């Protein structure tokens, strides 16, 4: 597969039935043919993508699969089919594409012009297994293709009722509605006539609000509850996703991990973060900063001499050390940890090209000691003097995903119609994860591209939902969506006296003040940005202003110095066009909290230009993902397939897990439903074994035919640079600098309590789910 193949993600919605497959073993599963031919020959042209390139779909719609069969024993001709349609088999690419396009354009099959939906094609393909479960009556009725039970059958637009009626009058039920209003209905205007309800069913029932795996959308449920409460009341409750196997298996673990990571030094890389690392570094070697060349070089600790330049790669941290990490690890491997780098090091998997099927670097993982790593924010310092052609490919891959964002640990919902706020415990912003309690550096709004002066202690991470009253109440239709923006708020401190709350810096903070976390101590003189007399005062900023965590002075000293007594590097190590790094804090270079600022800003420009997943046509500059796996486009982690490659995440398997959860929760009918599903699976297994002869080879063939399509969530709406005042708060007067919002954040100090309440609610419910299921960043083998 060429490395330059561009992946086109498909849209949600499918009527595919994964049980409709060939019943003989002379068919071979081959999705690759259709993935590339559909994308390159058809879909890319309809999307208006540049010609001459090779494209590929990330997957076929749920329930569909490509099969091929040689025509005769010696024939080179291959017949190809697409199985999964409820009424038959597609015998060619041209037959299948109209149905595929209908699903992509409308997310349903009503009015689909393909041969099977209109009844003009073959209803039974060669060797096809007929569905033996419920729904056979509808399949034999001759009606248009039936949508998935998770997508209610939509109706034709009001502007074309006659055209749609003439196209399918013979197939529609007699009471089928002829029109449907678009978007969210307005009370008193839609469906009312002379003050009385309109008896005609103009508006069909809203489809089930669930993702492609069938998991109920708890956020839509809360929004509906907020709407029902009206503008005079508010909804304030923890988020508990009882029907999400991922949430049930991973939410409590995630909260526990975030709590542990908050206690670690800020320089310790966390799971899911991107770092630069040197693969080959001897036990008696370390990295030293050459102040003359403004870059790194390997040092031989035995002879105390400078050696060659390091070769940097970029990768994702998939495991953290089992042994305690201390400041000594920043310089070299302590003698007590040299027995096993597996226990003392970080497992790092080089990052492959996002949005590509080629993931050749994933298998080249390496356990790396802390002193052989650097934050991705320091990529310019690490690669200083090297042309882009000399970079390792993984560095470009990491820079490509710098403009990705992923919120994790959403635990509380609060709002008054038509606005709401979802509180979260953490957020991946580009290469790093920042969480509640972290000290993070803020980029100045004044256009200063070279220095950082402000640091925030995060007390709340908020995903705001606004304009709910103007949006459709169906999150999976083509109606107008509500707007989403992400803000970070907390107590803020500055090193610039002009930005202090009094404008002159009369009240500096003592360096040993308990208000300052460890990462901020010994980094210079700090001043209050908010009035210290107002205990609840907070600053709130958009997430784009967060540069990354504020690193401890010990880390900055280790990263930007050489061992004591080392002579300066030779002249041969002088970098070409070396430029001095901007210094602040009265010229104390090693305590410069601006380190990495320029690198992050330039990485974001690189990502905006190179990440094809960013919807630039809609004015977006960031790619919002539902999970870290989706953001980095990971296929395999710690030797296990994840995301779209996870065979355990088929729609059928997720349904089975939810049925089991209902039974475990003691819901009425849950136990009977679970056992009925179990008996159906056993009967289906027995039929397949009988058809395949119950032989060993037959079992292998049956396993090869199993469908395990993994689905990612719906992309969030990009809230780039939006700021919304929370209606529950009274904004205080702006501070002297005038670039942030000073608010009494009365609910922020309750976040920890809210998280405890959510965790308690989780523990109160029975929790049992397969270990393969995980939430967002639960990446470890454990």
What does the pLDDT average to over 501-521?
Answer: 79
Exposure letters 373-408 (e unless 16+ CB within 10 A, then b): bbbbbbbbbbbbebeeeebbbbbebbbbbbbbbbbb
User: Tokens standing for 335?
Assistant: 């003698």
User: Tokens standing for 502?
Assistant: 């009094």
What is the CA 446 to chain-centroid distance, rounded? Answer: 31
C-alpha distances (whole Å) from 618 to each of 614, 621, 623, 632 are 9, 9, 12, 22
Residue 128 confidence (pLDDT) above 60: no
Q: Give the single-character DSSP code of 207.
A: P
What percent of the chain stands above pLDDT 90? 36
CA–CA dist 156, 178 (Å, integer): 6
CA–CA dist 644, 659 (Å, integer): 23
419: nearest Cα among 229, 600, 247, 586: 229
How does residue 419 score in pLDDT terms, banded at 50, 70 and 90? very high
CB count in 10 Å sphere of residue 175: 7
Question: Checking DSSP bridges between strand 55-57 and strand 6-8, what pairing results, if any?
Answer: parallel
pLDDT at residue 728 in the model: 35
Asked whether residue 316 is assigned to any structural domain, the reply reads yes
The number of residues making up the chain comes to 782
Full DSSP string of 192-244:
EETTEE--S--SPPPPP-B-TT--B-HHHHHHHHHHHH-TTS-EEEE---TT-
Asked whether residue 756 is assigned to any structural domain, the reply reads no
Residue 47 confidence (pLDDT) above 80: yes
**Helix axis angle, 670-691 to 696-705, nearest 10°:** 120
351: nearest Cα among 313, 310, 383, 379: 313
> For 132-175, what is each residue's pLDDT tens digit?
333 332 222 333 333 333 333 334 333 333 333 333 333 333 33
Domain end, chosen from 131, 152, 174, is at 131
The answer to whether 474 and 462 have CB atoms below 8 angstroms apart is no
Backbone conformation region of residue 10, classed left if phi is above 0, alpha if psi is from -120 to 50, else beta? beta
Domain end, chosen from 387, 411, 438, is at 387
What does the pLDDT average to over 80-93?
Answer: 90
CA angle (602 as vertex; 597, 604 as ends), nearest 5: 100
Question: Checking DSSP bridges between strand 404-416 and strand 235-238, what pairing results, if any?
Answer: antiparallel
CA–CA dist 295, 297 (Å, integer): 7
What does the pLDDT average to over 633-661?
Answer: 87
How does residue 334 score in pLDDT terms, banded at 50, 70 and 90? confident
Question: Checking DSSP bridges between strand 623-624 and strand 404-416, what pairing results, if any?
Answer: parallel
pLDDT at residue 205 in the model: 72
CA–CA dist 116, 93 (Å, integer): 14
Q: Give the single-character DSSP code of 566.
A: P
pLDDT at residue 70 in the model: 84
Residue 60 confidence (pLDDT) above 80: yes
Q: Which helix (H) or strand (E) holds 597?
A: helix 597-610
Handedness of CA 623, 628, 632, 634 (dihedral sign): negative
**Helix axis angle, 651-664 to 670-691, nearest 10°:** 140
User: Tokens standing for 53?
Assistant: 């390139």
Whether the upstream peptide bond of residue 418 has omega within 30° of 0, thus cis, is: yes
Q: Which helix (H) or strand (E) holds 757?
A: helix 751-764
Asked whether residue 658 is assigned to any structural domain, the reply reads yes
How does residue 86 score in pLDDT terms, banded at 50, 70 and 90? confident
Asked whether residue 122 is assigned to any structural domain, the reply reads yes
H helices of 55-160, in order, are 93-106, 115-118, 136-139
Asked whether residue 567 is assigned to any structural domain, the reply reads no
Residue 704 confidence (pLDDT) above 60: no
Mean model confidence pLDDT for the chain: 75
Task: Give the residue, 558 or 760, on which the prediction is more confident.
Answer: 558
290: nearest Cα among 552, 550, 571: 571
Backbone conformation region of residue 503, classed left if phi is above 0, alpha if psi is from -120 to 50, else beta? left
CA–CA dist 340, 325 (Å, integer): 14
- Spatial neighbors of 232 by CB under 8 A, at least 6 apart, are none
The answer to whether 456 and 443 have CB atoms below 8 angstroms apart is no
Burial, 621: exposed, middle or buried (Cβ in 10 Å; 0-12, 13-18, 19+)? Answer: middle
Asked whether residue 364 is assigned to any structural domain, the reply reads yes
Q: Give the single-character DSSP code of 324.
A: P
HEC letters along 518-539: HHHCCCCCEEECCCCCCCCEEE
SS3 539: strand
What does the pLDDT average to over 183-188?
Answer: 34
The answer to whether 428 and 446 have CB atoms below 8 angstroms apart is no
Within 13 A of 702's CA, how many CA atoms are on the CB side? 18
How does residue 781 score in pLDDT terms, banded at 50, 70 and 90? very low
Helices (H) and strands (E) in the chain, counts: 18, 31
The answer to whether 263 and 274 have CB atoms below 8 angstroms apart is no
Residue 586 confidence (pLDDT) above 50: no
Task: Give the residue, 63 or 464, on which the prediction is more confident.
Answer: 464
758: nearest Cα among 234, 254, 224: 254
pLDDT at residue 632 in the model: 95
334: nearest Cα among 310, 369, 374: 369
Task: Give the residue, 715 or 644, on which the prediction is more confident.
Answer: 644
The answer to whether 323 and 335 have CB atoms below 8 angstroms apart is no
The answer to whether 411 and 423 have CB atoms below 8 angstroms apart is yes
How does residue 364 score in pLDDT terms, banded at 50, 70 and 90? very high
User: Tokens standing for 304?
Assistant: 């105390």
What does the pLDDT average to over 401-425?
Answer: 96
User: Domain residues for 102?
Assistant: 1-131
Residue 30 confidence (pLDDT) above 80: yes
How does residue 585 score in pLDDT terms, banded at 50, 70 and 90? very low
User: Tokens standing for 466?
Assistant: 């606004």
Domain end, chosen from 131, 152, 176, is at 131
Asked whether residue 359 is assigned to any structural domain, the reply reads yes
SS3 248: helix
Task: Give the residue, 492 or 589, on which the prediction is more confident.
Answer: 492
Taking the CA atoms of residue 28, residue 31, residue 34 and residue 37 in that order, the dihedral angle to the nearest 10 degrees is: -110
CA–CA dist 185, 203 (Å, integer): 9
Asked whether residue 78 is assigned to any structural domain, the reply reads yes
Looking at the structure of the chain, the number of domains it has is 3
333: nearest Cα among 302, 297, 369, 374: 369
CA–CA dist 374, 198 (Å, integer): 66
C-alpha distances (whole Å) from 425 to each of 407, 749, 751, 773 are 8, 13, 9, 20
- Spatial neighbors of 533 by CB under 8 A, at least 6 apart, are none
> What end-to-end distance do the CA atoms of the chain give, in Å?
33
Residue 383 confidence (pLDDT) above 70: yes
How does residue 473 score in pLDDT terms, banded at 50, 70 and 90? confident
pLDDT at residue 645 in the model: 83
Between 278-292, 301-315, 527-541, 582-596, the lowest mean confidence (pLDDT) is in 582-596
6: nearest Cα among 315, 353, 405, 392: 353
* Unique residue bearing structure tokens 């099977």: 116
Residue 708 confidence (pLDDT) above 60: no
pLDDT at residue 699 in the model: 33
Residue 698 confidence (pLDDT) above 60: no
Mean pLDDT highest for which of 78-92, 371-385, 508-522? 371-385
Between 486-490, 500-504, 628-632, the lowest mean confidence (pLDDT) is in 500-504
> For 682-692, what is each residue's pLDDT tens digit?
787 777 767 65
């Amino acid at each position: 597969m060429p490395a330059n193949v561009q992946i086109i993600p498909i849209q949600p919605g499918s009527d595919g039935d994964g049980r409709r497959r060939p019943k003989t073993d002379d068919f071979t599963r081959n999705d690759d043919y259709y993935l590339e031919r559909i994308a390159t020959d058809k879909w890319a042209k309809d999307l208006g993508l540049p010609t001459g390139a090779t494209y590929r779909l990330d997957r076929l719609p749920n329930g569909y699969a490509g099969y091929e069969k040689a025509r005769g024993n010696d024939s080179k001709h291959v017949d190809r089919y697409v199985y999964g349609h409820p009424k038959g088999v597609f015998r060619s690419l041209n037959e299948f594409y109209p149905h595929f396009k209908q699903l992509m354009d409308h997310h349903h099959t009503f009015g689909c012009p393909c041969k099977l939906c209109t009844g003009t094609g073959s209803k039974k393909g060669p060797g096809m297994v007929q569905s033996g479960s419920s729904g056979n009556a509808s399949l034999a009725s001759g009606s248009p293709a039936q949508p998935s039970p998770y997508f209610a059958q939509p109706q034709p637009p009001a502007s074309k009722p006659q055209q749609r009626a003439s196209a399918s009058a013979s197939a529609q039920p007699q009471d089928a509605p002829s029109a449907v209003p678009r978007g969210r209905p307005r009370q008193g205007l839609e469906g009312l006539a002379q003050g009385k309800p309109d008896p005609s069913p103009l508006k069909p029932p809203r489809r089930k609000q669930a993702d492609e795996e069938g998991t109920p959308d708890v956020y839509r449920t809360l929004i509906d509850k907020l709407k029902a409460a009206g503008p005079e009341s508010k909804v304030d409750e923890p988020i508990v996703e009882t029907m999400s196997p991922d949430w049930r298996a991973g939410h409590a673990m995630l909260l526990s991990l975030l709590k542990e990571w908050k206690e670690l030094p800020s320089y310790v890389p966390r799971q899911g973060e991107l770092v630069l690392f040197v693969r080959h570094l001897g036990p008696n070697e370390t990295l030293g900063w050459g102040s003359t060349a403004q870059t790194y070089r390997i040092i031989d600790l035995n002879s105390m001499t400078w050696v060659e330049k390091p070769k940097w790669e970029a990768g994702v941290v998939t495991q953290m050390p089992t042994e305690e990490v201390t400041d000594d690890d920043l310089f070299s491997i302590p003698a007590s940890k040299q027995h096993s780098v597996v226990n003392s090091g970080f497992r790092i998997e080089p990052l492959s090209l996002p949005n590509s099927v080629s993931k050749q670097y994933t298998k080249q993982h390496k356990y790396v000691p802390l002193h052989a790593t650097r934050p991705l924010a320091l990529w310019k310092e690490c690669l200083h003097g090297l042309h882009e052609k000399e970079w390792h490919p993984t560095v470009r891959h990491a820079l490509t995903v710098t403009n990705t964002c992923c919120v994790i640990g959403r635990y509380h919902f609060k709002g008054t119609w038509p606005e709401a706020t979802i509180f979260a415990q953490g957020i991946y912003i580009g290469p790093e994860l920042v969480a509640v309690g972290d000290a993070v550096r803020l980029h100045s709004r004044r256009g200063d591209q070279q220095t950082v002066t402000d640091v925030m202690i995060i007390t709340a991470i908020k995903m705001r939902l606004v304009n709910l009253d103007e949006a459709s109440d169906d999150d999976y239709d083509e109606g107008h969506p509500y707007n989403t923006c992400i803000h970070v708020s907390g107590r803020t401190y500055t090193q610039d006296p002009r930005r202090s709350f009094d404008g002159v810096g009369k009240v500096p903070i003592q360096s040993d003040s308990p208000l300052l976390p460890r990462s901020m101590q010994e980094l210079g003189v700090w001043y209050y940005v908010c009035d210290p007399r107002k205990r609840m005062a907070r600053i709130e900023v958009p997430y784009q202003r967060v540069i990354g965590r504020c690193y401890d002075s010990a880390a900055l000293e280790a990263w930007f110095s050489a061992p004591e007594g080392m002579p300066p590097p030779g002249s041969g190590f002088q970098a070409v066009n070396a430029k001095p790094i901007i210094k602040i804090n009265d010229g104390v270079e090693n305590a410069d909290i601006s380190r990495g600022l320029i690198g992050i800003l330039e990485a974001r420009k690189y990502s905006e230009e190179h990440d094809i997943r960013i919807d630039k046509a809609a004015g977006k500059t960031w790619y919002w993902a539902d999970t870290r796996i989706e953001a980095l486009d990971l296929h395999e982690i710690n030797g296990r397939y994840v995301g779209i490659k996870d065979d355990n995440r088929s729609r059928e398997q997720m349904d089975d897990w939810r049925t089991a959860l209902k039974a475990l929760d003691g819901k009425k009918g849950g136990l009977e439903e679970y056992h009925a599903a179990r008996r159906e699976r056993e009967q289906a297994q027995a039929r397949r074994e009988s058809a395949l002869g119950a032989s060993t080879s037959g079992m292998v063939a049956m396993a090869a035919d199993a469908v395990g399509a993994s689905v990612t969530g719906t992309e969030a709406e990009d809230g780039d640079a939006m700021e919304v005042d929370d209606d529950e708060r009274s904004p205080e007067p702006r501070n002297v600098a005038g670039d942030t919002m000073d608010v009494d954040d009365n609910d922020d100090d309750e976040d920890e309590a809210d998280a405890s309440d959510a965790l308690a609610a989780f523990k109160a419910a029975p929790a049992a789910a397969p270990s393969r299921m995980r939430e967002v960043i639960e990446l470890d083998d454990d």
